[in-house]
A = this chain, B = another copy of it.
Amino acid sequence: MSKLALGLDYGTNSVRALLVETETGAEIATAVYAYPSGEAGILLDSRDPNLARQNPLDYIEGFVATVSQVLVGIDPSRIVGIGVDTTGSSPLPVNAEGQTLAKEFPDELAAYCWLWKDHTGHAEAAEITALAQERGEPYLAKCGGTYSSEWFWSKILRCARVAPDVFAVADSWVECCDWITGQITGNTNPRTLARSICAAGHKAMFADAWGGLPSKEFLAALDPRLADLRDRLYDTAVTSDHRAGGISAEIAARTGLVEGTPVAVGAFDAHFGAVASGAKPGVLVKIIGTSTCDCMVHPLSEPLADVPGLCGIVPGSVLPGYYGLEAGQSAVGDIFNWFVRFCGQSHEALTEAASKLQPGESGLLALDWNNGNRTILVDPLLTGLAVGQTLYTTPGEMYRALIEATAFGALTIINRLEEYGVKVEAVVNCGGIAEKSPLVMQIYADICNRPMRISRSAQTCALGSAIFGSVVGGAHATVADAQAAMTGIKEHVFEPDPQPAATYARLYKLYRQVHDAFGLAPATRLANVMKDLIAIRDEVRNVD
């Protein structure tokens, strides 16, 4: 019987388990578990749209439920290794045993896991950025020059400010990718559990160059309690070709896994998705889900500029031996899902209506900022904008405008990478939207004026987890070997169509005008925007 690897992918609303043949990448079984807590797995506060938390216990229940399900009829000894990816930065406070504080503080949302899209720490993020600049610290050069409200320290400092009781009780804080590998291996001690370089480097300003986490002096200047916390965090973080441990007896008993099955060090979903989409120099991998993560790699041996606005540049965060470059859009599928709720029509009906439209025909232009802008503005306090509405504007037109807005955002990231010498020779897309929406992919091809390729697996992030499982399990000697055996691209490539591409090139100029006016200071002149939109619309409609 062929060897198998097991990949776990913890998303925003659910967790997926995927069982894969290590020799071929063939997907044998999969199972999904929707987090039972909150609204679609997210704990919300109606007073504050910036708040988004999760119940960490859902993660463990989800592991047991999905793994038990994929193991039905499978000999568990065929599984050579297990990988785990999660959203991030999604840290949680833990006690000295590494257990969640949500049991002690069931009514305090601060005691739960602070989900990546929680933006409550925006003031703290600004404070961190300002202090690092003021002190001339090196920490921000590799994360785009601005520390994000979505990241580790913003959330922890926020907790210290608004929930000092929870903060005081917390022994340590753990990214959920590390917390989960700790829980399933039984190595839960926050002082010794394996910490992901992907999480540490991209979100916690961890780098060997300055001795690990930011200095005690820096943290003390933010809040003395953070400096104390630093001693209870970590000074080592490793790539996911390292072993976090073996499956614990308890988890083995609950799932049917063999005790001691190797578990790889965790990482973020998008980075594993990039690996499973064939990440290598020159290839941009876009993981398109509720948000996007855009990943590239660059050899550690070659020079690389600091790219302003990128979320992070971290050695080893995607592939060992390469810089991992991470950019992203704070909302993509989330914007489409919001609009479905807003207008009360289905994705299918809206897609059908939007498919009938030509670029520019609606006269609409939108910004993709309903959840802020991650790259290139690194500003969570931006919001959505739509312009060009008439008395005849339809939901299908607006849906298309929102898709286009996310594509304009994608192009803005590509342009920024290339402006700083990182050539984007090919784009590979993965994630639910890349899989399911030919309309979205064609619009992306036309707007970016590049072919859009789709990763072969429909579960790219989970496949990436399985790849690292196969490596720590010894089925492949290197990640590159595993990629060669287990990944691929779909035959159909979305090619850009010259005429739509030309119209979109004109619309993109308007997008950049509004983008820069609302996102950058000082503003540029805007008064031509609506007239240009109407001129384009009339031209497309052949109105004379």
CB–CB A526/B518 < 8 A: yes
Classify chain A's interface size.
35 or more
Q: Does A529 contact B (CB under 8 A)?
A: yes
State whether A526 touches B529 (Cβ < 8 A). Answer: no
What is the bound-complex CA distance between A383 and B362, given in angstroms?
A: 12
Do B534 and A381 touch across chains, with their CB atoms under 8 A apart? yes
Cβ 8 A contact of A49, one of B49, B162, B390, B523: B390
Contacts known (A381-B531, A527-B523); A390 close to B363, Cβ less than 8 A: no
- Given the known inter-chain contacts A518-B529, A518-B530, A522-B527, please indicate yes or no for A370 contacting B389, CB distance below 8 A: yes
Chain A residues 508 to 544 lying within 8 A of chain B, measured CB to CB, are 517-531, 533-534, 538, 541-544
Any B CB within 8 A of the CB of A136: no
A19 touches B (CB below 8 Å): no
**Which residue on B lies nearest to A514, using beta carbons?**
B526
Cβ of A338 within 8 Å of any chain B Cβ, yes or no, is yes
Give the docked Cα–Cα distance between A526 and B367 (Å): 15
Name the CB-closest residue of B to A44: B392
Q: Is A391 engaged at the interface, CB distance under 8 Å to the other chain?
A: yes
Query: Closest CB-CB distance, A522 to chain B, in whole Å?
Result: 5
Contacts of A321 in B (CB 8 A): none
Return chain B residues, CB-CB under 8 Å to A395: 342-343
A371 touches B (CB below 8 Å): yes
**Contact call B517/A521, Cβ cutoff below 8 A:** no
- Bound Cα distance from A370 to B531, whole angstroms: 13
Among B343, B384, B527, B544, the residue within 8 A (CB) of A343 is B343
CB distance from A182 to the nearest CB of B (A): 31
Mask of A329-352 contacts with B, CB within 8 angstroms, 1/0? 001001101100011110000000
Return the chain B residue nearest A525 by Cβ: B523
In the complex, A107 has a CB within 8 A of chain B: no
Complex: how many Å from CA A504 to CA B387? 22
Complex-state Cα separation, A345 to B338, whole angstroms:
16
A309 CB, min distance to chain B CBs, angstroms: 16
- Chain B residue with Cβ nearest A538: B48
Partner of A543, one of B47, B335, B534, B543: B47
Q: Which residues 363-420 of A sit at the B interface, judged by CB distance below 8 A?
A: 363, 369-371, 381-395, 398
Quick one: closest B residue to A384, CB to CB?
Answer: B389
A527 with B517: CB separation less than 8 A: yes
Indicate whether A527 sits within 8 Å of B534 (C-beta atoms), given known contacts A48-B541, A343-B342, A388-B384.
Answer: no
B387 touches A389 (CB 8 A): no
**Interface of chain A residues 294 through 327 with chain B (CB within 8 A):** none
* B335/A391 in contact, CB under 8 A: yes
Residues of B within 8 A of A338 (CB): 389-393
Contact in complex: B387, A385 (CB < 8 Å): yes
Contact between A47 and B541, CB atoms less than 8 A apart: yes
A371 near B342 with CB under 8 A, answer no
The answer to whether B520 touches A527 (Cβ under 8 A) is yes
Q: A505 to B140: give the CA distance in the assembly, Å.
A: 39
For the complex, what is the distance from the CA of A338 to the CA of B394, rounded to whole Å? 9
Max chain B Cβ within 10 angstroms of own Cβ: one of A345, A391, A533, A538: A391
Give min CB distance, A87 to chain B, whole Å: 15
Given A47-B542, A543-B48: A371 touches B390 (CB 8 Å cut-off):
yes
* 17 A/B residue pairs, CB under 8 Å, sorted by A: A47-B543, A48-B541, A162-B544, A335-B391, A338-B392, A383-B387, A383-B389, A383-B390, A383-B534, A384-B389, A385-B388, A385-B389, A517-B527, A522-B527, A523-B523, A523-B526, A523-B527
Nearest 10 pairs of A and B residues by beta carbon: A384-B389, A521-B527, A523-B526, A344-B344, A385-B387, A48-B543, A523-B525, A338-B391, A49-B392, A517-B526
